[in-house]
Chains A and B, each alone.
Chain A
């Protein structure tokens, strides 16, 4: 049984490393599309499209690996993850639409940037994970 547990832990660590690599590649290919379009290939549309397609494929790989990681979690860990993601999705939807309406109605003097929403999503997820982990453990 101990061997099975160790094997399971090792498999999880391996998938976690794979997820880190997918995430790193996703960020790098995203940066390549944005900066390459401006500086490397002077806005040639088909090159941008090729690298954007690559970025999307890497993104799908990242999500798929995360889904695989969830299958290796035990029931409490999975519950914590799902509750955190549910809260994050709900808050992001509410805050995102609110933020967009603030932009449309000129309640804010600047344009609503997606970066703010991504930061908000990340912060919500981290806080939810901490709160839920403390709640159950």
Chain B
């Protein structure tokens, strides 16, 4: 699943650690989501989208492999 978390994070000047603390996961998890190595659960995806004031579709994009 594609996402633009890195750009949104840069816009808000948040570090991976800041985002991880706000969402309630580890920094490694945020890193894995940003690198698209790990797809987050629906609650985590919603929390991330809400934190940036976006809808889930604006942050995450599903692409058929």
Contacts and interface: CB of A to CB of B under 8 A. Distances in A.
Interface of A: 1-2, 4-5, 8, 74-77, 79, 135-137
A74 B21 CA distance: 12
Main secondary structure of the interface of A (DSSP, over half): helix
B3 interface: no
A2 B21 CA distance: 6
B21 A137 contact: no
Given A74-B29, A137-B31, A5 B37 contact: no
By size class, the interface of chain B is 10 to 19
Contacts of A77: 26, 28-29
B29 to A, nearest CB: 4
Contact of B29 (A5, A8, A75): A75
Interface string B1-42: 000000000000000000001101110110110000110110
10 contacts: A4-B24, A5-B24, A8-B24, A74-B25, A74-B26, A76-B26, A76-B32, A77-B29, A135-B37, A137-B31
B38 A79 contact: yes
Nearest to B40: A75
Interface string B40-57: 110010000000000000
